[in-house]
Structure 1
Amino acid sequence: MKKQLFSFLVMLLPFCVSAQSDVIKKHNGETVNGKVVSVDEYTITFVYDGEEARNTISKYAIEKITYKSGRVEEVSEKINVRGEDDWEKVVILEDKSYIAGLKKAEEVRGKTGLINYHTGNTADKKAEKKLKMAAAELHCPFILLTADKATVGSSSNQLGGSQAIKKGIAYKY
């Protein structure tokens, strides 16, 4: 009987702890118990229970926050990228703070061919599509853009036209 009571109390402990703090649920299944200090446009600042250091995490990494008061705030929807066909779901991020809480995968690259007759705009769109396809192939819904280069006319190649090169680092939950 004592063993059953002890087991029951151990099972209740996480609920008692979470009732005293805010609970951040990440898309990767992890939960964080602490106090949400601020909610900004792309990031959330929080403090772990029993600590004073402020931590920042991207809203892209968070599913929802359950506040100590009981209020639930849905933060972002999980983006499921199952392969190259889901390339349109991939989000290109341009600020390092937007990747906080995400896991780095590997570098990806998208570029147009050396000999092409695209206008600058179509070359840029084609390079972006290739970049997103490379990330989608890795099952990564995010890219931190690290380089975006475009050349037009004779500076691009001997035949004129344009070439676009985009590089980034793919991230997942």
Structure 2
Amino acid sequence: MTQQARSKFIITLCLFMLMAAGAFAQADTIYLHNGDVVIGKVHRIAEKTVQFSYENEDAQQSYGKYAIDRIAFGRSGRVQYISDKIRVFNRGDWERVIVIDNTDEVAGLTRRGEVKGKTAFINYRTGEGSDKTALKKLKMDAAELGCAFVYITVDKDIDRKSDEGGGFGQLQSIKKGFGYSY
């Protein structure tokens, strides 16, 4: 190879590397709470989700905002924080558990198992009190699994009153769902 051909090859190689580095620098980086990093293009940040596509792909994907720590935008260099990490270690952390009512919000989280909460068949609570107690038990069940999130699949009240009426303590609340973590 002549000196002139070698010089052209080196210049072409350098230009190619600069273009590749420039293309990489323009990619967006999504940092997930579970430690994973996603390189691609963010298309939209909605109220509860982030739509993106993986690098070198056109198909759009979605993560719930609870799964994402921050996004670094490659083109501008700006960093946008999306959500704080919620730490749940044991049953005592039940108050930190967040109830999710939309399946889009669990995208990017890991399902850990079914969780339940209900009040007794006969109890000494009003309807509202019965509902709060069942929700607390559901969150405690999730926290025991180490789950910071619960997607509720069943939320019903069973009225145990007879035709003659009845009153206090005859409403049973039942809640079921799935616990999710990072």
Fold conserved between structures, TM > 0.5: yes
Find 2:67's aligned residue among 61, 65, 74: 61
Aligned residue in 2 for 1:170: 179
Partner of 2:136: 129
How far apart, in 2, do the equivalents of 1:110 and 1:104 lie? 18
TM-score (norm 2): 0.82
Question: What SS does the aligned partner of 1:154 have?
Answer: coil
Shift of 1:34: 0.4
Q: Distance in 2 between matches of 1:71 and 1:79?
A: 24
Q: 1:99 aligns with which of 91, 94, 106?
A: 106
How far apart in 2 are the matches of 1:80 and 1:91? 11
Structure 2 stretches of 5 or more lacking a match? 1-20
Asked if structure 2 preserves the Cα contact closer than 8 Å seen for 1:111 and 1:165, the reply is yes
How far is the alpha carbon of 1:16 from its aligned partner?
Answer: 7.3
Q: 1:50 aligns with which of 56, 66, 72?
A: 56
User: How many percent identity over aligned positions?
Assistant: 46
State the alpha-carbon separation in 2 of the partners of residues 48 and 94 from structure 1: 27
Summarize deviations over 1:75-116 as a string: whole Å, max 9, x none: 000000010000000001011001000011100000001111
Maintained 8 Å contact 2:158/2:173: yes
What is the aligned residue count? 157
1:54–1:80 Cα change, 3 Å: same
User: What root-mean-square deviation, in Å, do the aligned CA atoms of Structure 1 and Structure 2 show?
Assistant: 1.8
Cα pair distance change 1:18/1:163, threshold 3 Å: farther
TM-score (norm 1): 0.86
**Larger Rg computed on CA atoms:** 2
- Residues of 1 paired with 2:56 and 2:161: CA distance? 62
Find out whether 1:78 has 2:67 as its counterpart: no
Aligned-pair CA distance for 1:159: 7.1
Deviations, residues 31-75 of structure 1 (Å, cap 9, x unaligned) = 000000000000000011100100010000000000011100000
CA drift of 1:144 comes to 0.5
Moved over 3 A (4+): 15-18
8 A Cα contact 1:24 1:65, kept in partner: yes
Q: 1:14-33 residue pairs with structure 2 within 5 A?
A: 19-33=25-39
SS in 2 for 1:143: strand
Alignment partners' CA distance in 1, 2:160 and 2:129: 14
